[in-house]
Amino acid sequence: MEQLGAVHDKARFADGPLEAYLDDISGWIGQPSLFQHQVRHYDPIHTMEVADRLSELGQVPVQLIWGADDRWQVVDWAHKLHRAIPGSRLTVLDECGHFAPEDQPEKITALVLDHLAAARHGASALT
């Protein structure tokens, strides 16, 4: 099952959250939604449209969090984005796939909270 390729701990994912993900893309509502809003966006043209503007993101705090075991978006892309976005921070998590919040929810939460605190501190330093 390809969805299991999105996580590092496949057994834990299959025994728990996988069903919630499948529910969102199943049935007469989910299937059209999947293709309309998700599969259509797999086309790299959407990324290429903004690729030359990534440096503009250097004007805001950017934290990239990537799973070292991501089979859908390999970690090389994380490094390319990190180089393209001035001042960005990159954290690559071992034993983590594409659905990083499923593999390491506590670590993701800590990284996001730290990033928000740092951004808040940086914004208050400017005022």
From first to last of its 127 residues, the chain has per-residue pLDDT tens of 455 567 777 777 777 776 776 776 777 777 777 666 666 666 667 677 878 888 888 888 999 999 999 888 889 989 999 999 999 999 999 999 888 988 999 999 999 999 999 988 876 554 3
Q: Which residue is listed with tokens 């075991």?
A: 69
Measured in whole angstroms, the distance separating CA 72 from the mean position of its chain's CA atoms is 11
CB 67 within 8 A of CB 98: yes
Structural domain for 92, as ranges: 2-126
Distances (CA, A) of 75 to 33, 90, 91, 92: 28, 11, 10, 8
Domain count, the chain: 1
Residue 13: CATH number of its domain: 3.40.50.1820
Q: Which residues pair with 91 in a beta bridge?
A: 65
CB 63 within 8 A of CB 88: yes
